[in-house]
């Protein structure tokens, strides 16, 4: 029998938009990460007013709330701890308005990232943040984790492209922050909301910045015998003052996987591939492309090629952005991190990452944003034969290496459940307390996405992987 809360949710959103039977909840237990926990129910509202009604009903029933977008997150950020109600934003999927003069768009959180750029292209504009999951990930989830993507090197992450948000707070109030015009007076709460991972409220609309399409784009690849040579070339490019639109690196394991999956004919003898894109004025692109090509050759590239058509450019980016699923040809499971390290430390850190994987008998693939040092070491394994505990222990060691190198826990995936207990590796108790006070200003009872971002707490203690990570974080910290 449905509970009183479920009955109220059905009244607010319609019976077909509320799920509460165990079989219906299975697909909402997890995101793209490893943590799993069934929610008490799932509701799919279609308007901000319905979201507000849902949040008020949950508050009256003393049930916490977790906002969920497309479920492509990699940090367990939408896993429902403490018997939470999941509020899916899939039906909030309208591009309400595109304002070409203001170069801005008003969108709902369920709009798919790539669809926004496609719609903006009709006005010779585009939405710059482009996570690898942009074919599926939604704007609301991008805002929640402050998603990046390959072109964050030049354009920044989502926080640089959100002008204002409408958000339902923990008490069901609908509040607005910022707006279509940039640089409004007063306290700017928008950068605090972006990247807050649903712990402050549920975004129901957002004004986002659009940029004019560049006059020219040049995309090329440089092939190196090993990771070190490619990393040195990337550092040299940035040192000259050139900031490409994107600069990505793939290692040999990933090259072999994308060759097999997409038939892109990358030379299998390459130890690393540097994918570089420059865009802007035609003359600017010509000069930058010539300089980058020369620098790559000076640092050991044995082959530098430029895409000769849009079709070739699209194939190269398909190989990069679909490289993650291509790795399933090697092993069916993987554990991926997104630690950030200083660019000059990339070769040394990657050597340590590969050594850790070898010590645990794991295959590792590296496919990452080398331009800004955002690493994505991927540990490949078969969960039917290998224990997840060993994989998680290896992952914790990788995080420790990144932090010891002066890095950060996350560049674009968020903290969620995956890395919350590792936060005290980076922040003092006073820093974490200050962050909690900021959260409490929006949600004093801490009912929005409980158990995420901050270490400690018992809300998610029932999740086995959460207990493992907490033990690793506490046991490895010195």
- If you write DSSP's letter for every residue of 52-113 in order, what string do you get? HHHHHHHHHTT--EEEESSS--SSSTT---TTPEEEE-TT---EEEEETTTTEEEE-TTSBH
pLDDT(315) > 80:
yes
- The fold adopted by the segment(s) 4-88 is 3.30.43
Using the predicted structure, report yes or no on whether residue 374 has a pLDDT greater than 70. yes
H helix runs in 277-371, sequence order? 282-298, 310-321, 323-326, 346-359
The answer to whether the predicted template modeling score (pTM) of the entire model surpasses 0.85 is yes
* pLDDT beyond 80 at 246: yes
Is the pLDDT assigned to residue 183 strictly greater than 80?
Answer: no
The Cβ of residue 112 has, within 10 Å, a number of other Cβ atoms equal to: 19
**What whole-number distance in Å separates Cα of residue 394 and Cα of residue 87?**
34
Q: What confidence score (pLDDT) does residue 1 get?
A: 56
- Which residues, including other chains, have CB under 8 Å from residue 137's CB and lie 6 or more apart? 69, 70, 72, 112, 113, 131, 147
Quote the tokens at residue 252. Answer: 């040999």
Task: Please identify which residue in the block is written with the tokens 């659009």.
Answer: 210
The CATH label, of 3.40.190.10, 3.30.465.10, 1.10.10.10, 2.30.40.10, for the domain at 95-212 is 3.30.465.10
Res 377 pLDDT > 70: yes
Q: Which residue has the higher pLDDT, 465 or 60?
A: 60
| pLDDT, position 113 | 97
> Cβ distance 162 to 190 under 8 Å?
yes
Mean pLDDT over 61-78 rounds to: 96
Instruction: Note whether 397 and 379 are within 8 A (CB).
Output: no
If you search the block for the tokens 């496919």, which residue do you land on?
A: 367
**pLDDT at residue 181, as a whole number:** 73
pLDDT band at 268 (very low <50, low <70, confident <90, very high): confident
Confidence category of residue 478, pLDDT binned at 50, 70, 90: low
Lowest mean pLDDT segment, chosen from 15-29, 240-254, 258-272, 277-291 = 258-272
Cα separation, 330 vs 141, whole angstroms: 29
| Structural fold of domain 216-327 | Alpha-Beta Plaits (3.30.70)
Judge whether residue 396 has pLDDT over 70.
yes
Cα-to-chain-centroid distance, residue 295? 31
Q: Is the pLDDT reported for residue 357 higher than 60?
A: yes
pLDDT digits (tens, 9 = 90+) for 82-96: 999 999 999 999 999
Question: Mapping DSSP to helix (H, G, I), strand (E, B) and coil, where does residue 122 land?
Answer: coil
Q: What is the mean pLDDT of the chain?
A: 94
**Can you tell me which residue has the tokens 């707006």?**
179
pLDDT band at 456; cut points 50, 70, 90: confident
Supply the pLDDT for residue 2. Answer: 74
The token duo for 219 is: 């995309």
Confidence of residue 457 (pLDDT cuts 50, 70, 90): confident
Locate the domains of the chain by residue range.
4-88, 95-212, 216-327
Is it the case that residue 251 has pLDDT exceeding 90? Answer: yes
- With vertex at residue 316, the alpha carbon angle to CA 132 and CA 215, rounded to the nearest 5 degrees, is 90
Q: How much is the average pLDDT of 411-437?
A: 95
Helix (H, G, I), strand (E, B) or coil at 469: helix
The percentage of residues in the chain with a pLDDT greater than 70, rounded to a whole number, is: 99
Percent of the chain with pLDDT over 90: 84
**pLDDT of res. 449:** 97
Compute the distance between CA of residue 422 and CA of residue 402 in angstroms, rounded to an integer.
Answer: 12
Burial (Cβ within 10 Å: 0-12, 13-18, ≥19) of residue 283:
exposed
């Amino acid at each position: 029998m449905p509970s009183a809360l479920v009955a109220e949710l059905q009244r607010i959103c319609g019976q077909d938009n509320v799920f509460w039977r165990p079989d219906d909840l299975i697909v909402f237990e997890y995101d793209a990460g490893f943590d799993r926990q069934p929610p008490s129910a799932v509701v799919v509202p279609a308007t901000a007013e319905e979201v507000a009604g849902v949040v008020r009903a949950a508050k009256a029933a003393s049930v916490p709330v977790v906002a969920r977008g497309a479920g492509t997150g990699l940090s367990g950020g939408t896993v429902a701890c403490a018997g939470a109600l999941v509020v899916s934003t899939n039906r909030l999927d309208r591009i309400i308005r595109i304002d070409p003069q203001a170069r801005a768009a008003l969108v709902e959180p369920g709009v798919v990232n790539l669809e926004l750029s496609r719609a903006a292209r009709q006005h010779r504009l585009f939405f710059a943040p482009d996570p690898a999951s942009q074919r599926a990930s939604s704007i609301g989830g991008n805002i929640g984790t402050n998603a990046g993507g390959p072109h964050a090197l030049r354009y920044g992450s989502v926080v640089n492209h959100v002008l204002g948000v409408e958000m339902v707070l923990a008490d069901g109030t609908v509040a607005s922050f910022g707006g279509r015009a940039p640089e409004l007076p007063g306290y700017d709460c928008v950068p605090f909301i972006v990247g807050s991972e649903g712990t402050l409220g549920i975004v129901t609309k957002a004004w986002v910045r659009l940029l004019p399409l560049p006059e020219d784009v040049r995309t090329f690849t440089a092939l190196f015998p090993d990771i070190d040579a490619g990393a040195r070339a990337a550092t040299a490019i940035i040192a000259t003052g050139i900031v490409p639109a994107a600069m990505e690196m793939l290692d040999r394991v990933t090259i072999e996987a994308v060759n097999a999956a997409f038939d892109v004919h990358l030379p299998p003898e390459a130890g690393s591939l540097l994918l570089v894109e420059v865009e802007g004025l035609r003359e600017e692109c010509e000069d930058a492309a010539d300089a980058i090509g020369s620098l790559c050759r000076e640092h050991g590239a044995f082959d530098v090629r430029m895409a000769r058509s849009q079709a070739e450019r699209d194939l190269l980016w398909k190989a990069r952005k679909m490289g993650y699923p291509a790795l399933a040809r090697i092993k069916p499971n993987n554990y991926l991190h997104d630690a950030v390290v200083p660019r000059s430390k990339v070769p040394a850190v990657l050597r340590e990452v590969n050594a850790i994987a070898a010590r645990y008998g794991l295959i590792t693939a590296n496919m990452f944003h080398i331009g800004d040092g955002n690493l994505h070491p991927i540990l490949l394994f078969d969960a039917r034969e290998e224990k997840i505990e060993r994989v998680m222990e290896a992952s914790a060691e990788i995080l420790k290496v990144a932090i010891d190198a002066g890095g950060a826990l996350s560049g674009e995936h968020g903290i969620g459940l995956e890395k919350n207990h590792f936060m005290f590796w980076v922040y003092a108790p006073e820093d974490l307390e200050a962050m909690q006070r900021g959260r409490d200003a929006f949600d004093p009872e801490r009912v929005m996405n409980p158990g995420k971002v901050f270490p400690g707490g018992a809300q998610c203690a029932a999740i086995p992987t959460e207990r493992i990570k907490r033990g690793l974080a506490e046991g490895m910290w010195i």
